[in-house]
């Protein structure tokens, strides 16, 4: 009986040793040569970042451009109506061509007014007092232009 217990003890000890050696990892295993990022992975990541940044830049530039256009197409009709009101107040018979700017209040905005007589047989003598008024408002030397045409019956 004593020998059997010894044999069992040796067998158990042998099994434990196998398990212990199986779970041990060599110290060099933690220093794997393939740990970290490869050059290809870094290049792919940089390419994706570059594409995203270019897209964001284009979107921002387009937003700024659309903001300038929206500001012009909001302001220009009001300025054109202002010029038409000024023409109606002044004597239109004296004006045929006129141009200028809107001063310091609206820097970069320029205007041009052309007043033409209307000739129409069906209207007869009434057409003598009918005027065609063309107003052009431009911004930054024709970067944006807005045209407004109207007809007015004006007594001279």
Whether the Cβ atoms of residue 100 and residue 87 lie closer than 8 Å to each other: no
pLDDT, position 45: 95
| Separation of alpha carbons 89 and 45, rounded Å | 67
pLDDT, position 72: 94
HSE-up of residue 32 (Cα within 13 Å, Cβ side): 7
The pLDDT tens digits along the chain (156 residues) read: 555 655 565 666 666 666 656 555 555 555 556 678 899 999 999 999 999 999 999 999 999 999 999 999 999 999 999 999 888 887 656 666 688 999 899 999 999 999 888 887 787 777 777 888 899 999 988 789 999 999 888 776
pLDDT, position 138: 94
Taken in order of first residue, the domains within the chain and their CATH numbers are 62-156 (3.30.1300)
């Amino acid at each position: 009986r004593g020998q059997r217990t010894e044999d069992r003890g040796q067998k158990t000890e042998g099994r434990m040793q196998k398990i212990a050696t199986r779970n041990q990892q060599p110290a060099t295993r933690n220093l794997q040569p393939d740990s970290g990022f490869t050059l290809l992975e870094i290049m792919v990541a940089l390419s994706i970042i570059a594409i995203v940044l270019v897209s964001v830049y284009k979107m921002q530039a387009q937003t700024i451009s659309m903001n300038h256009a929206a500001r012009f197409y909001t302001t220009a009709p009001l300025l054109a109506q202002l010029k038409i009101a000024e023409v109606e107040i002044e004597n239109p018979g004296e004006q045929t061509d006129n141009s200028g700017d809107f001063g310091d209040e609206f820097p970069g905005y320029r205007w041009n007014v052309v007043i033409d007589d209307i000739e129409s047989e069906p209207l007869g003598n009434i057409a003598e007092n009918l005027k065609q008024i063309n107003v052009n408002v431009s911004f930054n030397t024709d970067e944006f232009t807005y045209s407004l045409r109207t007809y007015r019956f004006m007594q001279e």
